[in-house]
Amino acid sequence: MRCGVPRSLRRRPVQLSGWAPLKALLPVACLPLFLGASLHAAALAPGAPDSPETGGTLRLTASSSGGTLDPQISYVHITYQMEAIVYDGLTTFAKTPGPMDRHAIPDLVEALPAPEDGGKTYVFHLRHGIRFSNGREVTPDDVAASMRRIFRANSPTAGPYYSHIVGGTECLHDAEHCTLSGGVIPDDTAWTITFHLTHPDSEFFDRLAFQHASILPADTPPHDTGNTAPLGTGPYRIASYEPNSGLVMERNPYFRQWDAEAQPAGYPDEIRYAFGLDPEAAVTAIENNQYDWMLENVPLDRQAEIGSRFSDRVRLIDQMVIYYAALNVNLPPFNDVRVRQALNYALNRKAVVIYNGGPAVSLAACQMLPTGAPGFEPGCAYTKGASPEHPAPEWKEPDLALAKKLVAESGTAGQKVVIVTPQSGGSDAIANEIRSTLTDLGYVASVRPITPVIEFSYIQNSDNNVQVGLTGWSADYPSASSFLQTLFSCATFIPHSDNSINASQFCDHKFDALMDRAAEVSLTDRKAGDALWAEASRALMAQAPAVPLDQTRRVALMSSRLHGAFDTPIYEAIFSQMKLRRAGDQP
Amino acid sequence: MNGPVDTAPPGPWQTAFRALGGNRSAMMALAVLVLIVVLSLIAPFYAHDIAHTDPFRANVAGSFMLDGRAVDIMQANDNPLHLGMTPAGPTWRPSAYMLGSDSQGRDVAARLLYGGRISLLISFSAAVLCIVIASIVGILAGFFGGFVDMVLSRLMDIMWAVPVYLFAISLSIVTISDGLKIGPFTIEADNLLIPIAIIALVYMPYAARPIRGRVMALRNADFVMAARSLGVPRWRILLVDILPNVASSIVVLAPLMAALALLTESALSFLSIGVQTPTASWGTIIQDGEGLIYSRPMVAIAPGLAIVIVVVALNVLGDGLRDALDVRETSKRGT
Amino acid sequence: MAGDAPLLDVRDLSVSFRSGGRDVPIIENVSFAVCEREILGIVGESGSGKSVTAMAIMRLIDDPGVTLRGSVRFRGQELTTLPQKAFRTIRGREIAMIFQDPMTAFTPVYTVGWQIDEAIRVHERLSKAEARARTVRLLGDMGVPDPERTANRYPHQLSGGLRQRAMIAMALSCNPALLIADEPTTALDVTVQAQILDLLRNLRTDYGSAVMLITHDMGVVAETCDHVMVLYSGRVAERGPAAAIFSQPAHPYTAALLDSIPPLTGPRPTRLPSIAGAPPAPLERPPGCAFAPRCHYAHAACDILPPLVRCAEQEVACVLPGEGKALPPRMTERVEA
Amino acid sequence: MLKSLLQRLGQTVFVLFGISVMVFLVFFATPGADPTARIAGKNASPATIAKVRQEYGFDRPLPVQYATMMKKLFITQDLTSYANRGEKVVPEIIKAAPVTLSLATGGAVIWVVVSILMGTVAAAFRGTWVDRTLMAIGLVGVSIPVFWLGQVANLITQARYHDTWLFSWVPPLGYVPFSESPVGWFKALLISWCTLSVLFIGVYARVLRSDLVTVSGEDFMRTARAKGLSPSRVLLVHGLRTSMITFVSLFGMDFAQLIGGGALLTEVVFGLQGVGRLTYQALSSLDLPFIMASVMYSAVFVVLANALVDVVYLFLDPRVRDGR
């Protein structure tokens, strides 16, 4: 369901310091959009917007590539972001600036169908005339084949996102003979695809919008295509790819814009991604206009510099991300709810905010739903003068006295606590802050940094007996369930497994039931559903299986020639909407 | 004359020490080293009584007094976007944040002193351990030859075939997440023994080879042959004839190995696979400073300079020793 | 021997080096002359300053702490003040030198022929082929078998004798007027030694070169030299025609040296007489006669440095002849030259 | 000759085998190294995990896994990464090799030229202030941690003084292939070359000087002077040439290590995607196929270079030639 925060889980140590402060609204999403202004492009490349800003080569940089290009396999942000303009699903998320909690909109289909059969059946009407980059039209068969391929190619989310399609569970266990014959029914004459689900799913459209449900040609091989990108329908196609040096995207000659919000036509003629530059170097290179945009956040020590020298070239982009410390509810001392609450009370989130770049880019978190997520209601149970029963509107300051009292009641002071953290500057520092806090509370605390790639699964495996594990989580699509249900339901705790995303090992059937009800209500009444999710969030924090730390904003630096309304939630940036000033009209 | 130093008092050693004492630069290097060791030994005193700070405790939300007014340790910027928190810069006053603060609000000067303890401890211990292992391996291989030599030499071949730093990094990454488990004993990942052992191990072949060569030469030397033909037991030849004669080679290696160990330790810590938080070494401080190199370069520059000074001093001392003991250059270093 | 001016005229040559703030004299006021085609033997124990004298003449001592005084005239030209560059045209061309240890005197990484070619070509404008031809001829002249192949061999591939022959060939490559041979036979075994000495002896006829033969071996001098100079502790002890000195040494040191030659004929003595003690180190040199501490005849007068005085055919730095207590002629039979 | 060649080959194979087995065993002994969960993706269902485990053969006995990996690495060359799905390992290494080669070669040119100059000049002016200054510089060079020097160099050329005429030509960090733009290649690497060479300049100048000083006391140097050669010819043709033997053997070892990935700190600091950095990344992401491939690569290079040095040695030193 969502990609974990170690977004660049790849080869580089994850900088848990991607966090950027939230606080103000700022230019982010407020630019007017004037795209799709012209469907009658003239001398331009076919499918390109008729605008003086069309054309040019966009130069992007990232410290490393995202590995496989297979959109149904890849599960890293860099590829997700890049392939948003290469592939389309039946649905998609709006590729325009706007609030964070927008749900999926139709993409390859004419409209979002109304649920039938109590939410278990959907009939999608495929758009006519949309072509893959080889010129072949997208047919209902391609859709059915792509759905089968999710299982056949072992997509990571096949189980959690798509196994409720009728026949999905069978496919999961026997991918080679996967037909989904009862679950996805293409109809060439009506040009429709009918989906049957085993149970209603309020997030079905969102899941279809995720990249793993990209629609690919039916003859795409049923295995990870690796460094070769399958054909797509978006405005660009991937022309060449060297995972250790770079990637080039060029226009898809068969692309014609069908919906300016779902898949707008692109401005640059060519997009080049260079891999291998670390963020510090990338900032310098962009300052010097050697690149236009970088994947990573601007490193903390450069933020002051770019803030003062290039404030007009900085974008702060809200992210639906939450950083937290998972507390193992099955191991002492955190098997005592009072200790978990005590740590929540005691941790100075002001320090956490400072570590992550200060209030401009980091927002202290008090609950496991990030600000802006569906179902989010402001409220902080663990700050001075607040309690789970009487939450304050926001976090103000730690309450060390209360925390010490709770610890004293629990009688656990003096116990040993080991904090496991990914080994990278930002998280190290926060782990150190938590260590100091635990020491103040009377524990014998120490920090154990672990290689980032391993840490994420290490803290999940109950065999490793991790007491406190630092990690973060960001949603694949905006939904409350992708935070609360994924991270804290009984179903996501799998003992002795590296894949047990519920690192707190929290399992409360009453809480599960509450979430199920919220999901059910959301099907028909989003508002009522969201209210229930908010209630679930409060219920969760009363049990405090984790210490929410903060939510960050992305600090993006642009070259002086880059502009445009390209920032959007989920994808963060839509490369097709990046416009390049010509040499003559540099500001 | 090339005789066993059997009964003779350490005549050659005395002359060597006298020669070393007469070497001005070597003596200066020694003085610098002693000074730095003393400085790092008084680290707790400095931190507690002069700077009044706990260099291991994060303190980002705090402030300190400078010229009678409170200064935030982490300072917000007044650029239009309020972007970036910058740690306090050097005050150049020993009373508080003389060299400024790092990104966790800790006093860099105090950390530098504490870091020196760890860096020096690791490099000196690693050098000693390395030389002990290397001497054992080198002497065994050189003295017994044959099968023992073959096994040990092949083992060293394997170690040689991997660039030192890659070797050290591999070992560090393997041990860093879960420590080292040897039978019933567990060495925690943050135990200093781990970097010490790793560094000692990777440089072992570098020290063992010259020792082995020296022992082999000695084994065939006249006086050893003579002792053998007289029926002196092998262990006695080893102890009485060989060991004292390789001792000078070994002694000369020590400061050079310590210099290499210091550089390696800092590199490992820089890649955050050496010394583990909250312990600080010069390498970890450079690593802390990496994120501040553009705004507060002093955090990375100060420990870097400290490393350079110590390594220069060790090298000068090593040169002096070599000249004094009249041993040809034998050592190598990594990149 | 020669009627006109000597080929090499050395006057009051002193070499000293600074150590611990003091000037330490290595050789003091050494004077001698070498005439055309003459063979002069310079004899002394190790440390007596023989090699330093040779090096000083060749100006091969370039230690900045060393000072050199006195005059060295070659064919009337003062060498000590000659600029280095000008001196280089003399070195190797006019005055050549061969060294004690042929094992180490060749650069190990070049062939012997290459090194002789180099010596030729540095002084004469010759093509490589011409130089090589001369090299081969020289090697042949020196009695090197199969000179062409030998020229292409590396020093370590040759035996000691061959190497010394090659070394002499190199020294003779530009037909020098003077050849300084610094212990040329010490490192060789006896038979080869005799051959090499033969070679040296014939140089004056074959090449017209004078030879300055430095050795510690009186026997070698006896076999080879016209004139002899005996050095002791950096000072001239005695010098003069070989025949005179061998028949009637005037300096007790010379006499002692002569006594230590093993007789070539007759029964070998069970133990050769040797001089007790060792020559003084330069710093501990007594102000008077340096040999006095080891001398049987030492007495009060020896505390003053004795000047070089003429005594029969030779000159000697000893008070004895002046006191009328000249040493007796040698009892031993003259060694056949 | 053939025998010694075969012997050498045998040794090489033995060394490679030893290293690979060590790497393999150490990897599987590392806690949390099981790559299955990472390959399957975050929050994958147990069914997917089981499938991945079976697909990648993680359920088979270790010797079988080892054999399969070796086969995929050396014979079919289609070994794929555990961390980057679908990424073939061998081509990546082959692609990274030119970067490392460029870095090492350029650095080597600089350090050889500069150190020969420094060493020779110092030896020629032995005992003077020139000598002492040069050797002090060399000593400092040896003592600077290369990653720190790189950082400082970056700070100066990329940030602090990037806008001055002195460094405005410095391109962003990263590699530009020679085939793409020779000038760009040169500019992109120049600072890293200098940084890399500082250490070696120090080492080599010192070694060379001390060799030259030792050599200058040798008889053959005196012979050369007595021949009437100019001091420069004596120093260069006779002294330097002879000292080159040690120099070259040292160079061979160091160069091999650099080519084999030993320059990883420089590569990391300067953002050069070379073999060293690749290996470092593979190590930090515990990507066994990559670790295996790059360690094998570097071992092969080191062993090869050692053999090459032996050959060069034969050319340089006639004494060794006969010794064999």
pLDDT in tens, D123-138: 988 888 999 999 999 9
Per the CB < 8 A criterion, the answer to whether A236 and A256 are in contact is: no
Q: Greater confidence, D121 or D311? A: D121
Residue A271 has pLDDT above 90, yes or no: yes
Q: Which of D37, D51, D287, B186 is nearest to A496 (CA)?
A: D37
Chosen for mutation from C19, C84, C109, C135 (greatest number of chain D CBs closer than 10 Å) is: C109
One-letter amino acid at A403 equals A
Per the CB < 8 A criterion, the answer to whether C116 and C73 are in contact is: no
Burial A284-315 (b: 16+ CB within 10 A, else e): bbbbbbbbbbbbbbbbbbbbbbbbeebeebbb
Alpha-carbon distance values, A226 to A67, A222, A482, B52, B223 (Å): 7, 12, 28, 57, 68
Cβ neighbours, 10 Å, residue D55: 16
Tokens of C308: 């070089």
Q: Say yes or no: A459 contacts chain B, CB-CB below 8 A.
A: no
pLDDT-above-90 percentage for chain D: 15
Cβ neighbours, 10 Å, residue C83: 7
Question: What confidence category does residue B152 fall into, taking pLDDT thresholds of 50, 70 and 90?
Answer: confident
Q: What are the residues facing C77 on neighbouring strands?
A: C74
Domain D95-273 maps to which CATH number in 3.40.250.10, 1.10.510.10, 3.40.50.10860, 1.10.3720.10?
1.10.3720.10
Residue B329 has pLDDT above 50, yes or no: no
Q: Say yes or no: B82 contacts chain A, CB-CB below 8 A.
A: yes
Q: What angle, 0 to 180 degrees and rounded to 10, lies between the N-to-C axes of helices B298-325 and B243-270? A: 170
Q: Which residues of D touch A157 (CB under 8 A)?
A: 41, 43-44
Average pLDDT, chain A: 86
In tens, the pLDDT along C98-112 reads 887 777 888 888 899
In tens, the pLDDT along C46-100 reads 878 888 898 888 888 877 788 888 999 998 889 888 888 888 888 888 899 888 7
pLDDT value at position A32?
A: 36
End-to-end C-alpha distance for chain B, whole angstroms: 40
Q: Say yes or no: C19 contacts chain D, CB-CB below 8 A.
A: no
One-letter amino acid at A345 equals Y
Tokens of C49: 């300053």
Residue A24 has pLDDT above 60, yes or no: no
Residue A44 has pLDDT above 80, yes or no: no
For chain C, positions 134-173, list CB contacts with chain D under 8 A.
Answer: 154, 156-157, 167, 170
Distance (Å, whole) CA B310 – CA D139: 12
Q: Which of B72, B79, B67, B61 is nearest to B100 (CA)?
A: B72
H/E element, C42? strand C39-43
Give the least confident one: A376-390, A536-550, D173-187.
D173-187
Q: Say yes or no: C104 contacts chain D, CB-CB below 8 A.
A: yes
> Does a structural domain hold residue B96?
no
Residue A16 has pLDDT above 50, yes or no: no
For chain D, positions 2-61, list CB contacts with chain A under 8 A.
Answer: 31-34, 36-38, 40-49, 51-52, 55
Q: How many CB pairs under 8 A join C and D?
A: 79
Instruction: Label the pairing between strands A321-327 and A468-474.
Output: antiparallel
In tens, the pLDDT along D39-79 reads 777 777 787 888 888 888 888 888 888 888 888 888 888 88
The reply to whether residue A423 touches residue B76, judged by beta carbons under 8 angstroms, is no
The SS3 call for residue B169 is helix
Task: Locate the domains of chain C by residue range.
Answer: 95-175, 233-263+277-323
Per the CB < 8 A criterion, the answer to whether A441 and A404 are in contact is: yes
Distance (Å, whole) CA A454 – CA A436: 25
Q: Say yes or no: C101 contacts chain D, CB-CB below 8 A.
A: yes
Residue A92 has pLDDT above 90, yes or no: yes
Per the CB < 8 A criterion, the answer to whether D151 and B300 are in contact is: yes
The reply to whether residue D42 touches residue A156, judged by beta carbons under 8 angstroms, is yes
Of D148, D266, D295, the CB nearest to B286: D148
The reply to whether residue B83 touches residue A454, judged by beta carbons under 8 angstroms, is no
Distance (Å, whole) CA A305 – CA B245: 61
**What single-letter DSSP state applies at residue B159?**
H
The reply to whether residue D172 touches residue A69, judged by beta carbons under 8 angstroms, is no
Q: Summarize the confidence of residues C205-213 as an average pLDDT.
A: 88
With the CA atoms of A446, A451, A454 and A458 taken in that order, what torsion angle do they form, in degrees rounded to the nearest 10? 0
Q: Write out the E strands in A107-265.
A: 121-125, 184-187, 192-196, 236-242, 246-251
Distance (Å, whole) CA B61 – CA B64: 11
The domain total for chain B is: 1
Residue A10 has pLDDT above 60, yes or no: no
The reply to whether residue D152 touches residue B304, judged by beta carbons under 8 angstroms, is yes
Q: Which of C190, C228, C252 is nearest to C314 (CA)?
A: C228
pLDDT-above-90 percentage for chain C: 13
CATH number at residue B222: 1.10.3720.10
Report the chain A residue with the minimal C-alpha distance to residue D273.
A276
Q: Which residues of A touch D174 (CB under 8 A)?
A: 274, 276-277, 281, 285
The reply to whether residue C88 touches residue D317, judged by beta carbons under 8 angstroms, is no
Alpha-carbon distance values, D186 to A182, D226, D316 (Å): 62, 46, 31
In tens, the pLDDT along A487-527 reads 999 988 988 888 888 999 999 999 999 999 999 898 888 89
The reply to whether residue D18 touches residue B154, judged by beta carbons under 8 angstroms, is yes
Q: What are the residues facing B107 on neighbouring strands?
A: B101
In tens, the pLDDT along A446-497 reads 888 887 777 888 888 888 889 999 999 888 888 898 899 889 999 889 888 8
Distance (Å, whole) CA D179 – CA A395: 57
pLDDT value at position A3?
A: 38
Residue range of the domain that includes B271: 36-42+111-334
> Does a structural domain hold residue B8?
no
In tens, the pLDDT along A251-264 reads 999 999 999 999 99
Of C105, C106, C109, the CB nearest to D317: C109
Residue A78 has pLDDT above 50, yes or no: yes
Burial D67-89 (b: 16+ CB within 10 A, else e): eebbebbeeeeebbbbbbbbbbb
Q: Say yes or no: D169 contacts chain B, CB-CB below 8 A.
A: no
Question: How many distinct helices (H) and strands (E) make up chain D?
Answer: 15, 0
In tens, the pLDDT along A287-315 reads 888 899 999 989 887 888 888 889 899 99
Residue A192 has pLDDT above 50, yes or no: yes
pLDDT-above-70 percentage for chain A: 91
Question: What confidence category does residue C265 fall into, taking pLDDT thresholds of 50, 70 and 90?
Answer: low
Residue A18 has pLDDT above 80, yes or no: no
> Does a structural domain hold residue B4?
no
pLDDT value at position A31?
A: 34
Distance (Å, whole) CA B232 – CA C159: 38
For chain A, positions 273-302, list CB contacts with chain D under 8 A.
Answer: 274-278, 280-282, 284-285, 288, 290-291
pLDDT value at position B6?
A: 45
Average pLDDT, chain D: 84
Q: Which of C198, C211, C262, C238 is nearest to C321 (CA)?
A: C238
pLDDT value at position C257?
A: 83
User: DSSP letter string over B56-67?
Assistant: TS--TT-EEEET
Residue D284 has pLDDT above 80, yes or no: no
User: Could you tell me where the DSSP H helices lie in A89-134?
Assistant: none
**What single-letter DSSP state applies at residue B294?**
T
Question: What confidence category does residue D108 fall into, taking pLDDT thresholds of 50, 70 and 90?
Answer: very high
pLDDT value at position D32?
A: 64
Distance (Å, whole) CA A313 – CA A321: 24
Q: Classify the phi-psi angles of C233: left when phi > 0, otherwise alpha if psi is within -120 to 50, otherwise beta.
A: left
H/E element, C316? strand C314-316
Alpha-carbon distance values, D297 to A196, B326, D74, D158, D285 (Å): 52, 40, 11, 32, 18
Q: Which residues of D touch B266 (CB under 8 A)?
A: 145, 147-148
For chain D, positions 226-265, list CB contacts with chain B under 8 A.
Answer: 250, 253-254, 257-258, 260-265
Tokens of B327: 């041993």
* Beta carbons within 8 Å of C231's beta carbon, 6+ residues apart: C27, C30, C42, C43, C44, C48, C49, C50, C53, C237
The SS3 call for residue C199 is helix
| Global confidence as pTM | 0.79
Residue D106 C-alpha, separation from nearest chain A C-alpha, in angstroms:
20
Task: Locate the domains of chain D by residue range.
Answer: 95-273
Most confidently modeled range among A161-170, B6-15, C22-31: A161-170
**Burial class for A213, CB neighbours closer than 10 Å (0-12, 13-18, 19+):** buried
H/E element, A318? strand A314-318
> Does a structural domain hold residue B1?
no
The reply to whether residue A453 touches residue D286, judged by beta carbons under 8 angstroms, is yes
**Burial class for C123, CB neighbours closer than 10 Å (0-12, 13-18, 19+):** buried
Cβ neighbours, 10 Å, residue C21: 5
The reply to whether residue D284 touches residue A226, judged by beta carbons under 8 angstroms, is no
